[in-house]
Amino acid sequence: MSDRGQMSAWAATGRPGRDERLRPVSRPVPEPLDGEVLVRVETCGVCRTDLHVADGDLPVRRPGVVPGHEVVGTVVASRRVHRFRPGDRVGIPWLRATCGECRWCRDGAENLCPEARFTGWDVDGGYAEFATVPAAYAYPVPDGLPAEQAAALLCAGVIGYRCLRRANLPPGGRLGIYGFGASAHLVTQLAVAQGAEVHVLTRGEAARRLALDLGVASASSIHQPPPVPLDAAILFAPAGELVPVALAALDRGGTLVTAGIHMTRVPALDYQSHLFLEKHLTSVTANTRRDGEEMLRLSSRLGVHAHVVPYPMRRADVALDDVATGALTGVAVLVT
């Protein structure tokens, strides 16, 4: 298959269900625009956000978009780019472009840019043989870092890291993690390595075993209270009914961070039980390029290792369904 011919890919339909949400397609290999590189995809992580795009939980921005925003591959062509050359390994993340001029961009909060565009939502992503990315928003991938590990860090790792930053966890503090999928098992390693006392609450027995193997202080059912009051908590499960549960588990002045791009309805909160005593409730929206750079450096320094489950690209529909049903622990990655 030539670099300027046709390629195999998966397109989102907006219809939930394993046999409905994705369809195999043949598309022209994309041409890089000014400032972009064309990447031959080696691997692409499978994210819950891909599921929300494919199922139609998120508003359609590009009909039939190719999902995937944890892409690792090799540059094969570019247009007016000096940062990368053919043969360089790069990562393509969720954040694809920002205006660079609004007050959020100027203040270092480019993830809040109203004009932000995202890979696998606004523009075709990595469930394909080739993908493009603006060079300014791609990450260099070290030669010694396996593609599957790099893919996991590009979204699951970066979002988890931003959540940890926004949690305001004091040194040696008690951190609760609700839900234990791709992001959670990576941020757990960061938090434990930095001296936090981590308590995991999740529904899956296999996930609880993995959490204990990673050195957490406790791992229990998501509906049980943690054994100690929490200084901070991160809610990775897209279940709004867990917001009051996690808030009630916080100690005085604690912070709850909600991590998902989509969540089911949050029930009514009781002021005295859930918000009084200066508790904080905040969300995370995408990430900045600085977050990604810091996460990659910290992961290398602290030995963060993703538990990856590889799937061939031709079985992307199966991988996404396994994410939907909670049938796997760790990060699903598609391999070309």
Residue type, 139: Y
Q: What is the pLDDT of residue 242?
A: 97
Q: Spell out a b/e string for 201-221, using b for 16 or more CB atoms within 10 Å of the CB, else e.
A: bbebeebbebbeebebbbbee
> In the numeric block, which tokens belong to residue 103?
């007050």
- 2, pLDDT greater than 80: no
Reported as a pLDDT band with limits 50, 70 and 90, residue 4 is low
Q: What is the mean pLDDT of residues 112-134?
A: 98
Report how far residue 280's alpha carbon sits from residue 276's, in angstroms, rounded to the nearest whole number. Answer: 9
Report the top-level CATH class of 6-141+306-335: alpha beta
Q: What is the mean pLDDT of residues 174-188?
A: 94
> In the numeric block, which tokens belong to residue 54?
């494919």
Report how far residue 210's alpha carbon sits from residue 238's, in angstroms, rounded to the nearest whole number. Answer: 20
Q: Is 112 exposed, middle or buried (0-12, 13-18, 19+ CB in 10 A)?
A: middle
Instruction: Name the DSSP class of 187.
Output: H
Where does CATH 3.90.180.10 sit in the chain?
A: 6-141+306-335
Report how far residue 100's alpha carbon sits from residue 107's, in angstroms, rounded to the nearest whole number. Answer: 10
| Phi, psi dihedral angles at 286 (to 5 degrees) | 50, -145
Helix or strand run (H / E) with residue 130: strand 130-134
pLDDT digits (tens, 9 = 90+) for 193-227: 999 999 999 998 999 999 999 999 999 999 899 99
CATH number of the domain at 158-283, out of 3.30.300.30, 3.40.50.170, 3.40.50.720, 3.30.70.260? 3.40.50.720
- 243, pLDDT greater than 60: yes
> In the numeric block, which tokens belong to residue 131?
């993908």
Task: Average the pLDDT over each of 91-95, 116-120, 194-198, 258-262 and give the range with the smallest value.
Answer: 258-262
pLDDT digits (tens, 9 = 90+) for 251-283: 999 999 999 888 999 999 999 999 999 999 999
Q: What is the mean pLDDT of residues 126-143?
A: 95
Residue type, 99: C
Going through 53-104 in order, the beta strands assigned E by DSSP cover: 71-78, 89-92, 95-97
Q: What is the mean pLDDT of residues 149-177?
A: 95
How many residues make up the chain in this entry? 336
Q: What is the mean pLDDT of residues 53-69?
A: 95
Reported as a pLDDT band with limits 50, 70 and 90, residue 143 is confident
Return the residue matching tokens 């949400």.
Answer: 21
Q: What is the pLDDT of residue 90?
A: 96
Q: What is the mean pLDDT of residues 130-148?
A: 93
pTM summary value: 0.88
> In the numeric block, which tokens belong to residue 74?
């090799």
Helix or strand run (H / E) with residue 282: strand 280-283
Q: What is the mean pLDDT of residues 136-156?
A: 92
DSSP-assigned states of every residue in 164-181: HHHTTPPTT-EEEEES-S
Where does CATH 3.40.50.720 sit in the chain?
A: 158-283
Mean per-residue pLDDT of the chain = 94
Chain centre distance of CA 34: 27
Report how far residue 218's alpha carbon sits from residue 283's, in angstroms, rounded to the nearest whole number. Answer: 25
Percent of the chain, pLDDT > 70? 99
- 54, pLDDT greater than 80: yes
